[in-house]
Amino acid sequence: MKVGVLTGGGDCPGLNAVIRGVVRKGVQEYGYEFIGFKDGWRGPVEGDTVRLDIPTVRGILPRGGTILGSSRTNPFKAEHGVRDIKANLAKYEVDALVAIGGEDTLGVAARLHGEFGIPCVGVPKTIDNDLSATDYTFGFDTAVGIATEAIDRLHTTAESHMRVLVVEVMGRHAGWIALHSGLAGGANVILIPEQRFDLDQVCAWVTSRFKASYAPIVVVAEGAMPKDGDLVLKDAVSRDSFGHVRLSGVGEWLAKEIEARTGKEARTTVLGHVQRGGTPSAYDRWLATRFGLHAIDAVRDGDFGKMVALRGTDIVRVPIAEATAKLKTVDPALYQEAGVFFG
């Protein structure tokens, strides 16, 4: 059997660990051949490939990013995209695809399998941890660790200058990174997309902290919105091939509003791509490796149209379509827990 592997969407710590797990077990235990498709779904659409074997994946476990490259290519938006994928899979004699990605990448895999019979197995990847059907996605732990370290460092400079420091983290639709890093880093305000925030309340919390002779840290997810406003966009017109607008600037907007309303100096730190770059944490290496091992088992079993998922400490298989049907967002009860520390 020859198996194709691709990584799509935003890069993420742990992608190389998945590739390594898939290839090592596939070659050593099942005698499979592997071919990598470059840059997400662009690879099978254009027939852009690279050889994958054990020497290729040696030493990539601690590396961030992906040796296969990534993109946000949507084959359903490309002319003859699906036709070209089928033709290239036949050309390279690929019997199955392992698609490693988030909601968009796996959504394509679900359609290719369900509507066109292409044998796909999915592996969930996103630092946002917003894929349903799995307890955690790899990349999330690394992103939270990076954001927490940044918040820890910002506490000292905030106290030195008695400023408000606003930390903008990733999270388009889900506030998992903001919630986890904000709580772990001792933030005084955490704002997430799931709960529209009251700007007056935010300023009241900020003022309260200054009265206690303490400089506040405000953590805000990029998709958070005020009660009487909307998303802050980098470009209201430009969208990617999956229809997503580019978010950017809620942290800067919030800092200006806080400074104008409270009279306290406010500065912004936007963590951006720092959160998903660099070396994956030990947990993400462990989880990504296990996902890879179980993904190739699903290929061996012919259990296509499935995604490997973490349930407790077990790796299970769930339909890709089910996993991508809706996003996993922060439960209001979890957010209320953090509210004890606001203000």
Please identify every residue annotated as catalytic.
128
Strands 314-319 and 33-37: unpaired
Q: Residue 273, annotated ligand binder? A: yes
The CA-based dihedral angle spanning residues 291, 292, 293, 296, taken in that order and rounded to the nearest 10 degrees = 120
- The conformation of residue 172, written as its DSSP 8-state character, comes to S
Q: List, in order, residues 6 or more apart from 235 with CB less than 8 Å away.
A: 245, 246
Report whether 174 contacts 329 (CB < 8 A): yes
Is 307 among the annotated ligand-binding positions?
Answer: no
Q: Is 259 annotated as a binding residue?
A: no
Residue 275 assigned to a binding site: yes
**Residue 180 labelled as part of a binding site:** no
3-state SS, 265-329, equals CEEEEECHHHHHCCCCCHHHHHHHHHHHHHHHHHHHCCCCCEEEEEECCEEEEEEHHHHCCCECC
Q: Is 39 annotated as a binding residue?
A: no
Burial class (CB in 10 A: 0-12, 13-18, 19+), 51: exposed
Could you tell me the two tokens for 30?
Answer: 């099942």
Closest to 72 in 3D by CA, of 112, 40, 45, 44: 40
Q: Is 102 annotated as a binding residue?
A: no
Q: Is residue 337 a known part of a binding site?
A: no
Whether 72 has a binding-site annotation, put simply, is: no
CA-based R_g, the chain, Å: 21
Instruction: Answer yes or no: is 59 a known binding residue.
Output: no
State the Cα–Cα distance between residues 111 and 75, nearest whole angstrom.
Answer: 11
Widest Cα–Cα separation across the chain: 69
By three-state DSSP, how is residue 222 classified?
A: coil
Q: Is 56 annotated as a binding residue?
A: no
Instruction: Please tell me whether 79 is known to bind a ligand.
Output: no
172 assigned binding-site residue: yes
How far are the Cα atoms of 38, 97, 112 from residue 81, in angstroms, in the given order? 15, 16, 11
Question: How far is CA 10 from its chain centroid?
Answer: 7
User: Is 246 known as a binding-site position?
Assistant: no
311 is in an annotated binding site: no
Distance, in Å, from the CA atom of 342 to the CA atom of 267, rounded to the nearest integer, reads: 19
Specify whether the CB–CB gap between 16 and 63 falls below 8 A: yes
Binding residues for substrate: 126-128, 163, 170-172, 222, 267, 273-276
Annotated binding site: 10, 103, 126-128, 163, 170-172, 222, 267, 273-276
Query: Binding site residues for diphosphate, as ranges?
Result: 10
The annotation places the binding site for Mg(2+) at: 103
